[in-house]
Structure 1
Amino acid sequence: MTEAQSAFHVKPASAARPPLTARIPGSKSLTNRALLLAAAAVGTSRLRSPLVSDDTLAFRTALGELGFPVHADPSDTVWSVTGTGRGPVGRARVWCADAGTAARFLPPFAATGSGEFLFDGSDQLRARPLRPLADALARLGASVRTGPDGGLPVRIESDGLYGGELALDGSLSSQYLTGLLLAAPLMTTPLSLTAERLVSRPYVDMTLALMRRFGASVDESADGTLRVLPGDYTAVDLDIEPDASTASYVFAAAAVTGTAVTVPGLGRHSLQGDLRFVEVLRRTGARVEIGEHATTVTGTGRLRGGFDVDMGEISDTFMTLAAIAPLADGPITVHSIAHARLKESDRIAAVARNLAALGVETTTGPDRITVHPAEPTGAGIACHRDHRIGMAFSVLGLRVPGITLDDPACVGKTFPGFHAELRRLFPGQAPAVPTADRTGEQ
C-alpha cells in the first residue's frame, strides 16, 4: 500500500457488528417492463412495491396517455393496471420526459394497436438514438417518422404489426430488442428476432423471464434467434425486487468504509444481472455473501486494484466502480462499455472529467476507462443531470471530504430518497446536500 493510499485506510468491520440493512427501492427495469406487460395483458395486474421515481412516474403517465391508466393505492405501494390484450387505439401524444425505457418500449406497443401516436421527451432524451428501433418498426409494417437526428420526436401511424424475421443492431442498447420482444405477442404472426453485437444481455433475459411470467411463448434457438408466438398475455400479481443497480452504491459504500451492508430481497434467484456487481467488489477484496433472499457485502478496510474487468453486461454499475477506484492499491480498467457513451450523458467522458477535478489520473478509449490510484481531494461534481453520476460520486464522498454535487436532485430519476438513506446508513460521513435540493425528505 502506497503512502497516499495509507491515508485512506479504513479499519474493517468488526465480525461481531451486525450488518447495516439498506432500504433499496424497487427495480426501475422490472417496474417499467411489468407496467407495459400489465397494459398488454387481459385482466387486471397488481404490481407490489414498484419503484416510485421520476422515470417510473413518467412511464406510468405515458401509459395513461395511451389509454391504460395506472391506479395506485393510497400508500403508492401497489399499482394496478387493466389491459385488454390489445395495443392502444386512436390518437395520442405521449411525453416520455427523461425515461429511455418509455421511448424504447412504448412505441412498439403502440404500433401493435391502431392509430397515430406521437412520442416526445426532454432535450436529454431527444439526444439519445432511436434509429434502429424506428427502422425495425417500419419493416414490421408501421409508418414511422423520427426527428432530424433519428431520435425523438417519433410519429407512428399503424394498424398493427405483422411479425416476421428481423435482424437488429444491438450494439447501442438492448432496449430496442426488449421493446420489440414485449410487443411481439400482440403481432399478427410470429416474430423471429436476431440481435447482432448485443450489449447488456442480462436485461434481455429479465425481459424474457417476465414475458413468460405473463404467459408469453418464447423460444431461443442455438444461434441466439428469439421466436415469439402471437397470443394473449395474462394478468398477474407481481412483487418487484429491490433495484440491483441502485444497490451497487450501498454495496460499494460497504467496501470503502469497512462496514457490512445487507440488501434484503436481492438473493441468488434475482432476475437482475446487475447483482453481479458484487462479484466485481469481491475482486477488490470485499467479502460477498449471496443468500437465498438477501445479499451482504463486507468491506475489508482497503481496495485491491491491478485488474481489468469486462462490465459490458452490467454497464449501469461501471461508474460505481470507477468512482471508488482511486482508493485501490493499483489501477483498475473497465472495458466493453462503449454503449455507456449514449446514456443520460457520455458516461465515460463524464466520469473521467469528474475524477480529473478530484486530482485523479485516468486514461480512456472508445469503450474503456482506466482509473489510477490517487489521493483524491474535494471538488464539485458535474452530474450532467445523470442520476448514476450523482450517486456514484456520493459514495466516494464517504471517504473524501469536500465532494459536492451540482445537481443533487438528479438522483430522483431512480432513487428519490438516496441522500437520506446514505446519511442514515453512514451518519457523519455522507456528503452534505443543500437543503433546498434534498430529495425524498418531504
Structure 2
Amino acid sequence: MERSVEPSSVRGEIKAPPSKSMTQRAIAAAILADGQSLLLNPSYCDDSLAAMSIAVSLGARVEPQADKMKISGGGELKEKKLNCGESGLAIRLFSPIAALFDEEITMTGSGSLKKRPMNMIVDALIQLGVKSSGTDGFLPVTIKGPIKGGRCEIDGSVSSQLLSGLLMALPLAEENSALKVNNLKSKPYIDMTIEVLKAFGITVINEDYGLFRISGKQKYLPVTYAIESDWSGGSFLLVAGAINGNVIVSGLRTDSFQSDMGILKALEKAGAKLSISESKIEVSKSDLRAFEFDATESPDLFPPLVALASYCKGVTRLKGVSRLRHKESDRALSLSEEFGKMNIKVEVSDDYMIVTGGEVQGARVNSHDDHRIAMAVAVAALGASGTVFIKDSHCIVKSYPGFFDDLRKIGAVVHE
C-alpha cells in the first residue's frame, strides 16, 4: 500500500503504543506458568500476533480482548511447526522455549526472517543438550529437547535476544545453568527480560552482564502484568513534535529499562524544547542543531534519529551502524537511499552514520518493507517542502499498526 504524507503542523496529545518487546516477553512467561495470567495493555502488532500463535501451538489458551489478554499456560504441545512471521525476537525467544519439549519442533518464519542467520541459536541449544540443526545456517530450524541446562557460551555482539530466550527457558531445566556472554550489546533489553522474569516469580543472577546463573526446576507463577508503552514507537511521535509542531506523548515510563528512552537525550542535544513529567512528555518545534549520539545500545533509534538530524543545522554523527545489518532491511543502506531521495545526505563511515541537515524535499520513497523506515520518512515528511509518497507503507503493522492513524489524530495529512 502506498500512502502519502503532506507537510503538516502537528499538535495535540497522543498515547504511545504498547511495547511489542514487552508483550512478547510477557506472552512467553505466561505460557510457562501453570494457570491463567492477565496481560494489560498488550500490543496486537504482527510480531505480537506471531507470539500469540506460537503460544497456542505450545498448548496455551489465549483470549485476546481490546485492552487485555488472558493466557492459560501449562498445556500440552499442539503443533510441531512454529511460525515466527518476520519477528527476530520471536525466533530467538521461543526457540529455547520449544527446546523444553521432548518432541521435535520446527521453527519457521517468513519474509526478511528467512535471510537472518540462525547458527547462533543452534549452537547454543546443542551446548545445552538439545538436538538442533538449521538449513544451511538459516530457517527452518529443527529442535528436539528437553533442554538439560548446564554451561553455555554465546556471543552477544549481534543481538541480546537469544540470551533473553535462554534466560526464560533455563529456569525450567532439570539442571542449574551458567551462561557466559561475550561482548553483550543492548544490555537494557536483558534488564527488560529479567524484570518480566521477576514479575512471574523467576530468579536470575546477573554477574555484570558477562555471566548469568540460573537455578533449574523453578516455577513460573500466573500473574496480572501491565505492559508498558513503547519508547521505540513513541520516539517517532516525539520527533514529529520537534520537527513541526507541539506534541504531548503520554504513557511512557521515565523509569523504563527500554534503551530507546535515549531519544530524550538526543532531543536535548539537538536543542528541542522538552518538558518531561512522570506520565507525559511535551516536545515543541525549535531551531535544531547537529548533535552526536551513541546508538549502539539502541539501534532501533537510528530511523527516528535520522529524521531528526535531517532538520538539524550542521552535521550529525550517530554511532553504532554495525548493529543495523540484520534488521528487516539493511537499515544503514535503506536510510541513506531513501533520505537521499528527500535531499538529505546520509553517509556511513566505519561505525558512524553521518547526516547533513538541510531542506527536506517531497519525493517518492520506498519502505524496503521495513516498518521503522516507513515511520522515519513519514515523520520527516511533516516539515518537507512537498508531499512524500511512501511505497509499501503497510509494513508498519509489524510493530505499530496505528501509526498513521495516530499521526492523523495530531494533525498530519495522510492519504491512502
TM range (shorter): over 0.9
Within 5 Å, give how 1:342-357 maps onto structure 2: 342-357=326-341
> Following TM superposition, by how much is the alpha carbon of 1:194 offset from its aligned partner in structure 2, in angstroms?
2.2
The corresponding residue for 1:7 is none
> Following TM superposition, by how much is the alpha carbon of 1:366 offset from its aligned partner in structure 2, in angstroms?
4.8
Within 5 Å, give how 1:138-153 maps onto structure 2: 138-148=126-136, 150-153=137-140
2:61 equivalent to 1:97 = no
- Are 2:325 and 2:332, in contact at CA under 8 Å, matched by a contact in 1? yes
The corresponding residue for 2:4 is none
The TM-score with structure 1 as length reference comes to: 0.88
The corresponding residue for 1:210 is 196
Aligned equivalent of 2:224, options 231, 237, 247: 237
Aligned equivalent of 1:329, options 313, 316, 338: 313
Distance 1:384 1:187 in 2: 40
Distance 2:170 2:131 in 1: 17
> Following TM superposition, by how much is the alpha carbon of 1:367 offset from its aligned partner in structure 2, in angstroms?
2.9
Distance 1:358 1:300 in 2: 20
Instruction: Give structure 1 stretches of 5+ with no counterpart.
Output: 1-9, 14-18, 435-442
Partner amino acid, structure 1, of 2:81? R
2:167 equivalent to 1:181 = yes
Q: For residue 325 of structure 2, give the secondary structure of its aligned residue in structure 1.
A: helix
2:33 equivalent to 1:41 = yes
The TM-score with structure 2 as length reference comes to: 0.93
Q: For residue 220 of structure 1, give the secondary structure of its aligned residue in structure 2.
A: strand
Distance 2:209 2:328 in 1: 32
Identity of aligned residues (%): 33
What do the CA deviations read for 1:145-179 (whole angstroms, capped 9, x no partner)? Answer: 1122x121111122x11212222111111111111
Partner amino acid, structure 2, of 1:301? S
- Are 2:16 and 2:252, in contact at CA under 8 Å, matched by a contact in 1? no
Within 5 Å, give how 1:12-91 maps onto structure 2: 20-73=12-65, 76-84=66-74, 89=77
Q: For residue 80 of structure 1, give the secondary structure of its aligned residue in structure 2.
A: strand
Distance 1:164 1:55 in 2: 31
Distance 1:263 1:362 in 2: 28
Within 5 Å, give how 1:4-403 maps onto structure 2: 20-73=12-65, 76-84=66-74, 89=77, 92-148=80-136, 150-158=137-145, 160-222=146-208, 224-230=210-216, 231-259=218-246, 261-292=247-278, 294-305=279-290, 307-400=291-384, 401-403=386-388
Aligned equivalent of 1:416, options 391, 398, 401: 401
Compare 353-362 and 264-273 and name the one that shifted more: 264-273
Partner amino acid, structure 2, of 1:94? L
The corresponding residue for 1:407 is 392
2:415 equivalent to 1:433 = yes
Q: For residue 103 of structure 2, give the secondary structure of its aligned residue in structure 1.
A: strand
Partner amino acid, structure 2, of 1:111? A
What do the CA deviations read for 1:320-376 (whole angstroms, capped 9, x no partner)? Answer: 011231211111111123121111111011000111111222220353210112212
Q: For residue 332 of structure 1, give the secondary structure of its aligned residue in structure 2.
A: strand
> Following TM superposition, by how much is the alpha carbon of 1:297 offset from its aligned partner in structure 2, in angstroms?
3.2
Distance 1:198 1:288 in 2: 32
> Following TM superposition, by how much is the alpha carbon of 1:185 offset from its aligned partner in structure 2, in angstroms?
0.7
Q: For residue 138 of structure 2, give the secondary structure of its aligned residue in structure 1.
A: coil
What do the CA deviations read for 1:83-123 (whole angstroms, capped 9, x no partner)? Answer: 22x8x647611111111122111110010122110111113
> What is the CA RMSD across the aligned residues, in angstroms?
1.9
What do the CA deviations read for 1:243-274 (whole angstroms, capped 9, x no partner)? Answer: 11000011001111141x22222132223221
Q: For residue 165 of structure 1, give the secondary structure of its aligned residue in structure 2.
A: strand
Instruction: Give structure 2 stretches of 5+ with no counterpart.
Output: 1-7
